[in-house]
Structures are given as C-alpha cells and as structure tokens.
Amino acid sequence: MGIAVEHGYHFVRPGGDVMKTLRVTALLIFLLPTFQAWAQAPESLIPRKVLFGNPERSSPEISPDGRTLGYLAPEQGVLNVWVRTLGKTDDRVITHDRKRGIRNFSWQYDSKNVLYTQDQDGDENWRVYQTNVASTQTKDLTPFAKVRADIVALEPSHPDSILIQLNKRDAKLFDVYRVNLNTGQLALDTENPGDVLSWQADHDLQVRAAQVTTPDGGTLIRVRNNAKSSWRELMKWGPEETLGVIVDFSPDNHALWVITSLEANAARLLAVDLATGKRTVVAQDPQFDVSFLVTQPRTHKLEAVVFLRERRDFQILDPALKADYEALKKLRDADISNISRDLADDRWVVTFEGDDAPIYYYLYERGAKKASVLFSSRPDLEKYTLAKVRPIEYTARDGMLIYGYLTSPAGVDARNLPLVVLPHGGPWGRDAWGYDPYAQWLANRGYAVLQPNFRASTGYGKKYLNAGDRQWAGAMHTDLLDGEEWAVKQGVADRTKICIMGGSYGGYATLAALAFSPDAFSCGVDIVGPSNLNTLLKTIPPYWSTFVAIFHRRMGEDEEFLKSQSPLFKAEQIKAPLLIGQGANDPRVNKAESDQIVAAMRKNHKPVQYYVFPDEGHGFARPQNRMAFNAASEEFLAKYLGGRFEPPSEAERKLLESIKQ
C-alpha cells in the first residue's frame, strides 16, 4: 500500500529476475442472522491464519549458477531465507530474523551469498544485509542509523560489486555508493546534485543515467558518456504524461530503454540513442501502458514486454522464447508474474498467479520444455473453494469507462449480496487479476467485493491517469459511488448493506466516502489513510522531496483547495461507523492523520474503533498484527453487513485490547 509513487528503482535480482518495471509506489461484534445466499451453498470459513499468516514457502529465486534454490519460509514464526540444492531435499535456513520477517532477497552473482533489506518497525529506513549461504554469517552493508538504503544495480560482469543509494549525506537526497561485496568497503560513486529522483547504471556497472522531476511535475532524463563525463539532457516530457521511467540500458549500452507516454496516449517502450537522441518505438498499445520488460539475464537482450490488460499479456519480441511461453501457458489457468533464470538460461523458476488458487512455483527445464511443481505458497488453501475474479467495467456519471474486478462468494448466486468496495492504494497504481487474499477473505465471509480501478489508476494510458488530477474528493470519489451503483443495478449488491474498506489511498477513499457522501455506505474500514491532505504533504519523508512536484500536480497545491478535499474538515457529516488501523511508525501517513479524524469523530459522538500498532509502519507486516486487525474487521463487518466471521483468538483479543485507543 503506497500513498505515492515510489522511486523508480528496480531491484534487479541476479538470479535472473527479469521482470523489470516502474515500482508504483505500493492492500472488521455480533453475528447477525446470515443472509439467504448462505443457505444455498454453505462453505467452510477459511481461517485467517491460512489467508494472512506466513506463507509456507514463497518468492523462490534460482541461483545464477542454476544449482540452488532460495526462497522465503518461516523459522520460529518469522519469514527468513532458506536454500535447497535443486533436485534434493536438503532445505536449510540461512538467515535468522526474529521480528519483522524478510520480505525480499536477491542472489549475488557468485551464487555464494544472498542480499536482503530490512527496516526497523516499519520506519522504511532500509538496510542492506549480506548472508553467506555456507556459513550463514550475516553482514550489515549499510550500518547507518536513520538512513535509507536501496539497491541500485548488480551486474553479472561485476560479481564482486554492487551499487547502493543512501540518503546519508542529506536526508532529502540519494547518492550512489559502490560496495565491495568481498570486504564490505563502501565508497561514494555518484553524488546527487540536488534534484535526482532515481539513478540507472549501465551493464558495466557505471551510473550513466538519472531521472529528475521538474518543478512543474514533468520529467527530465540526463545521461553521460562515462563516469568522468559531464551530464547532459537526453529527453524531457511534461507533467501531463504518465509516470514514466528509465528501465534499463540496451545490451550494448548505446541506448536507453524508457517507458513514457510522450507523443502517445499510453506509455510506450522507447529505445533512445544516447549519441543522437533518436527515439525508436519498441512496443506500444493505444490504450494500455507497457508495464514490464523481460530480458535475458546474461546478455540483457530484450525478449518480451507485458501489458496489464484484464490479465497479464506478454508480447514476445524474441521468437526464440515463443515455444517456452506456449509450453508454460498450458500448465495452469493462471498468469505468469515472475521468472527467475540462471545465467546459462537453462533453468527457470516461474511464478503463476491465478484467481482461485494459491500462488504456484514451477521449475522449468528449458531444453526439454518440461516443467515440474516446486511448491505453492499456501498449500492449506487448497482445502477450500476459492472465488473467481471477474474483470468488469462500468460507465461513470461523466461518461468515462471505468475498469475493475468483482469477486463474489464461491458457490453462491451473486444476487443481492452485501458488498465491500475495496479501492486500491497509491492512488497511482491499480488492481490486477489474480489471487488477492483480501478479496478471497471477504468473499468467503459472504460479501461481494468490488475493486474499481478508478480514474488516476495506472496502466490505462495518460487520459485515464490525468482524469484523476485534483479529483481525490471529486471524480475519483464519485467513480467509487458509481461502481457501488453499478453493483446494485446489476442485482449483485444489496443497497442497504455496503461497506467501503481500503489502505493508504484506499483508506483516504474510505474516509472521504463517509465524510462527503454520508448516506452511501453502511460502514467503513480505514487502514493507514490520510485525513488532512495539507498535513499529509507536510509530513512526508524527506527523501520524497525530489518528486513532491508530482503530488502538487496531481493532488493540488493550494491549501484551501486541499482542505476542501480533506475528510477531516467534514467529519461532522460522518454517520456510518468507522474502524481505523494505524502503524505508529508510518513514515508516509503519519499517525497524526488517524489521530485527527478519530478525535473529530469522538468530539461529534460518532462511533469509531481505533487500533494503533506500536511496531508497524505503512501497513501491517507482522502476521500477528495483520491477523489481529482483520479479526477486528471481521466482527465489525459482520455487525453492520451481516456476514460470517471467525471469532478472534485469545491472543488476537489480548493484542487488540492492548493497542486500542
């Protein structure tokens, strides 16, 4: 869940994670009589632990030498990195996090070490750690307090080095440092001149491109010939374009691959010649943005691009891959969401995401075109019937076509059901088809779930994105109301039993819905959502200063206007009961955002439940916290919508009692 676009850094996984993209940054007391639908098809409650506890195993990555599989799995209830020799069952844990759990890792190109990032209690001041597979010894490569570290690049041609960016010199700016992976020695490589949002290294591990947000919210791309050369402008586009990004260098380092909607509606992939500035269109679609690139892990050859349509759609650019993708498509009714490849490109680890099954991981032997299941993320889910996810579209009140997804309870006629409207975070992101634990959880409890990709959502071109500018409490809000009305007119939803629920921007949308349209919803669940857009912008992390112009462009800059868009100042209009969850250490949406709206509601004697998790940030990373808040949410929804719920465990109830405010 992200309230803003994150920096456009892509964490290239040396094991061959070749899906590269812009990270957009970046998703409940009394049991009332159940509605008639449940008499049609009773279904077991899926335990919260199965949906929201740690996965049994997830995020597998193959080592560059193709011999070892790394993956995440719990040790003593906390996610850590495990490894196994491919073809054997010698699984062993190599990291020993004891609190928040490790959520991402990457192989070094030596196949002997892994890298991962971790923060403290959700403060997002990430540190980069290195763990040796054989000795399991872990080294902190960035041991700096109150400093954020992000991996910029690794390259197979330089297996002993890594580029990391740190805001060590200036909290607002990221400089690039070169780290010797053998000794841990860290040296300044490229200093930020004061306006660079993100950096791009070439395939010789030299920083040669920089992306800047201009004062009006546009984008400027700078490049240089080598590390000793002066920077020069390569290309520029205005604030009306999509949130474009530098993706990579071409294999010969002579061109830059850039995703931008410049001179088009939807974001295209361009190859921009560094010497002449000539732009060549590599891939495009009139409506949908290019979202991902697939490249060969050693040669960096561009092999495919991915468009997020109703489902993920691969456009194969290298004919040599067509047979592989045809073979993979036959394995499951699911979308490929990640491919990890060894450097020889003989073995692939492929991630499949379907809508009504857990995530599956396959080992694919490319020579034989043979695939075998490694494991699924949550095998216990296979005991239950999950719901299908249906792409939908509806017409907003101004005539704009809005896209989204509808999930309804498995085995139940989707007629006259209670409905949960579940807007995504961002807001400059989108929901996609596939397995969503929140949608499955809510559907299992008896609710239809509507996930609208309201205007301002990404992936649908710049007209769709720009239609949301300065519309947080305007058309973006009415898009949700129009989606609600569509569900009622379709006969899916009972107009008297509709709740809105979301995190980050989705939390804001919840507050705005209850404040600006007080009769539209029966209740609301807000997770880390801002209530006052002025105070939100004044308390964002300092390192977001390099793209704050994007906020001003798309949210508004005038304080009176932002006040008019802020639910806090219409809190007296809220009628529906509200449940709020907040992380005490949230660096994006400060705790004061929730404190303010809670105080206003209590001053007006309006019903609000408020839980503050002392060891969380922007969202709930620890499973026990996530499950506890969802236990509260289930009871809350059951009280006001009439669905089913799993009572809180004793541990969940004690935790909730201890953090209730």
Catalytic residue among 376, 479, 618, 633: 618
> Exposure pattern of 70-87 as b/e (b: 16+ CB <10 Å)?
bbbbbbeebbbbbbbeee
Distances (CA, A) of 311 to 150, 433, 435: 30, 6, 12
Residue 434, sorted as left (phi over 0), alpha (psi -120 to 50) or beta, turns out to be left
Of 51, 59, 57, nearest in space to 75 by CA: 57
Respond yes or no: is residue 605 known to be catalytic.
no
Respond yes or no: is residue 586 known to be catalytic.
yes
Of 567, 564, 394, 418, nearest in space to 485 by CA: 394
Catalytic residue among 248, 586, 594, 615: 586
DSSP state at residue 587: S
Contacts of 89 (CB under 8 A, 6+ apart): none
Of 236, 265, 348, 360, nearest in space to 303 by CA: 348
Biggest CA-to-CA distance, the chain: 73
DSSP state at residue 186: E
Distance from C-alpha of 53 to C-alpha of 552, rounded to nearest angstrom = 38
Asked if 69 and 86 count as a contact pair (C-beta separation under 8 A), the reply is yes
Evaluated on CA atoms 608, 614, 620, 622, the torsion sign reads: negative
Q: What stretch of H or E contains 128? A: strand 127-132
Strands (E), 317-447: 335-341, 347-353, 360-365, 370-376, 389-395, 401-407, 417-421
Respond yes or no: is residue 44 known to be catalytic.
no
Catalytic residue among 504, 517, 531, 566: 504
Cβ atoms within 10 Å, residue 446: 24
User: Helices marked H in 556-590 — which ranges?
Assistant: 559-564
Of 17, 19, 9, 100, nearest in space to 618 by CA: 100
Task: State CA 63 to chain mean position distance.
Answer: 25
Asked if 514 and 500 count as a contact pair (C-beta separation under 8 A), the reply is yes
Q: Which residues pair with 396 in a beta bridge?
A: none
Here the tokens at position 9 are 């850094």
Here the tokens at position 136 are 């399991």
Of 512, 529, 533, 530, nearest in space to 521 by CA: 512
Cβ atoms within 10 Å, residue 323: 12
Residue 21, sorted as left (phi over 0), alpha (psi -120 to 50) or beta, turns out to be beta
Task: Write out the catalytic residue numbers.
Answer: 504, 586, 618
